[in-house]
Amino acid sequence: MKQALVIGAGPAGLMAAQELANAGLQVTIAEAKPSPARKFLMAGKSGLNMTKDEPKDAFIEAFGEHSEVLRPMLEAFGPQSVKAWAHWLGQDVFTGSSGRVFPEVMKASPLLREWLTRLGAQGVTLNTRWRWVGGTAFETPEGRVELTPDATVLACGGASWSRLGSDGKWAAHFAENVAPFKPANMGFEVSWSEHMTPHFGAPVKAVRLMAGDAKHLGEFVISQRGIEGSGVYAVSKALREGAELKLDLMPKLSLEEIEARLKKAGKQSLPNALKRLKMPAAKRALFFEFGNNRDGSVAEKLKSLPIALKGPRPLDEAISVAGGLRFDALNEGLMLTGQPGVFAAGEMLDWEAPTGGYLITACLATGKWAGQHAAAWVKET
């Protein structure tokens, strides 16, 4: 029987293993950590956002500059396929008001347990604590092991959350073909003054974040180190590339409406006038942190408050990464052009996804694509 090797037991690697096993190959998965899919499980702790239920083109275009290279993979396995996959694994799903799709149990663990059971029933072997050292060689608890597969799928993850397995060390084996890693969907550091201390941990809701052409109506959290949360992640790419962050603290009111309300406040102090606008304490604190000693009226600053950022939080804290194995080093089937029979998938590829279920969907889609093309390559050789 032909042999296939998958390196990495996250969603991309498990999906590749499933396709290889479906094609009749004997599959071995090598995972460096003591258990599989640790980042996938961590994502599920706060509610596993598997995909987003939206029109196909809108979903694909969310991947920005890499949308077209990913298009065939996401057309073959997109949001509707992810929902069907979850049902196949015995998990009902629901779609939230924003279109985000979750399993009804919210967690990743039931999906993973059933998936591993089904892979095991197909004869897939999962070896944990096998650290890849290059080629098809591994350091294992029993010593060095070298395999001789007919095809290999690399699904080694990105370079964030290294404690969960995605440490990016694999990049040293492909230095010429790797775009530098950058944090994606991450928080940003801010040097707060002391008056912000009481607001650490406070949510800032119903705010429009603006960074260059990127705009997002949502929320974020003030932390001791800076700002983080879904609203920040939505504009993080633009901020990483140098755009200035501005906040519309009152997105439901026009500039003129705010001016009229402030005028009604008469000679009240500015803090009392802002209270009259029914601004939450955290928003008022942000205004006084960044609005003093700046040009413009109070209303103008409430509608476009510049936030001084020191820079992104470290790469290892990012939800995901940009950069990785470049697509120009791969053929259309995700096989490395210089290494016949070696394919790649998942977050180790050079693409970037926004939050909202895009990341997991693309990992599954590229894993399926690489697994299918690896199986086809074995049969043709």
Q: pLDDT digit string (tens) for 279-304?
A: 999 999 999 999 987 788 999 999 99
Q: What is the reported pTM?
A: 0.94
Q: Which pLDDT band, with edges at 50, 70 and 90, does 268 fall under?
A: confident
Q: Which pLDDT band, with edges at 50, 70 and 90, does 204 fall under?
A: very high
For residue range 108-158, what is the model confidence (pLDDT) as tens digits?
A: 999 999 999 999 999 999 999 999 999 999 999 999 999 999 999 999 999
Neighbour tally for 132: CB within 10 Å: 20
Cα 244 to Cα 146: distance, rounded to the nearest angstrom: 50
Neighbour tally for 283: CB within 10 Å: 22
Cα 261 to Cα 259: distance, rounded to the nearest angstrom: 5
Q: Which of 123-137, 199-213, 235-249, 255-269 has the lowest mean pLDDT?
A: 255-269
For residue range 165-193, what is the model confidence (pLDDT) as tens digits?
A: 999 999 999 989 999 999 999 999 999 99
The predicted pLDDT at position 269 comes to: 86
The predicted pLDDT at position 271 comes to: 87
Token readout for 318 is: 């990012």
Are 11 and 364 a contacting pair, CB within 8 Å?
Answer: yes
Are 373 and 81 a contacting pair, CB within 8 Å?
Answer: no
The residues spanned by each domain of the chain are: 3-183+319-380, 188-312
- Looking at CATH, the fold of the domain delimited by 3-183+319-380 is given as FAD/NAD(P)-binding domain (3.50.50)
